[in-house]
Amino acid sequence: MKVLVPVKRVVDYNVKVRVKSDNTGVDIANVKMSMNPFDEIAVEEAVRLKEKGVATEVIAVSCGVAQCQEILRTALAIGADRAILVETTEELQPLSVAKLLKALVDKEQPGLVILGKQAIDDDANQTGQMLAGLCDLPQATFASKVEIAAGEARVTREVDGGLETVSVSLPAIITADLRLNEPRYVTLPNIMKAKKKQLDTVKPADLGVEIKPHLKTLKVTEPPKRSAGIKVPDVATLVAKLKNEAKVI
């Protein structure tokens, strides 16, 4: 069984994001970029499935600029067998990414697609669901545990009320949540091996997909700064402030 794992290049989670002076977006010039953390969890899960003998091949996929090769090499170092870059300089929105991935699903015919539940840059949480809709495949989102057996995926997913376990027939789409696993540390020998693994580059036109933006960002602003906290002498004063100033009780 092939496992397809889409990964996205985003601003590293340790970096303090700064808004451009004209409020048109986020400044990514000279900023450290890395793999989306949820996608890294998805890669780890796919590699674990291969180590268990469930999967035979893990294919990492990324859509975007040429620098996305860096995160694909990271995926290869974690344990993916080969990688595909859909190279484009156009702005990629969730629907466009889903269409590109759909074309690759049609081409590669994977038994399972695992991707992060959302990217930490736009927090859209849409690509996995859109891909499932376009491919007409069952989906299990927000997975915290995945078990594959007898042509089915048994997925424990996190919901507001706790945990829900669903069973979906393969092929299927699964989106990874934070508690699915803890990605392994990438060692130097594996980084060196990743440089020799296959990485193919295609264009959206090669897949027959036209990239068209459907959303327009009007303005990006930083959240308002929080005011400093204060100390109160007793409980009565605290209750009075919560009631009269904060008006929460």
Helix (H) or strand (E) holding 235: helix 235-244
**Amino acid of residue 22:** D
pLDDT of residue 181: 93
Contact 116, 42 (CB under 8 A): yes
pLDDT of residue 126: 94
Domain positions in the chain: 2-244
Pick the closest to residue 109 from 230, 243, 223, 4 (CA basis): 4
Q: What are the phi and psi torsion angles at 160 (to 5°)?
A: -60, -35
The CA distance from 83 to 87, in Å, is 12
Question: What is the tens place of the pLDDT at every residue in 69-128?
Answer: 999 999 999 999 999 999 999 889 999 999 999 999 999 999 999 999 999 988 999 999
Q: What mean pLDDT comes out for the span 16-25? A: 86
Of 32-46, 89-103, 212-226, the poorest mean pLDDT is in 212-226
CA dihedral 223, 224, 229, 234 (to 10 degrees): -100
Q: What is the DSSP letter of 19?
A: B
Residue 208's region, left for phi above 0, alpha for psi from -120 to 50, else beta, is left
Q: Tokens representing 62?
A: 């990324």
pLDDT of residue 8: 96
pLDDT of residue 224: 85
Indicate whether 248 pLDDT > 90: no
pLDDT of residue 69: 95
Q: What is the DSSP letter of 204?
A: G
2-244 is classed in which CATH architecture? 3-Layer(aba) Sandwich (3.40)
Neighbouring-strand partners of residue 114? 174
Residue 171: asked if its preceding bond is cis (omega within 30°), the reply is yes
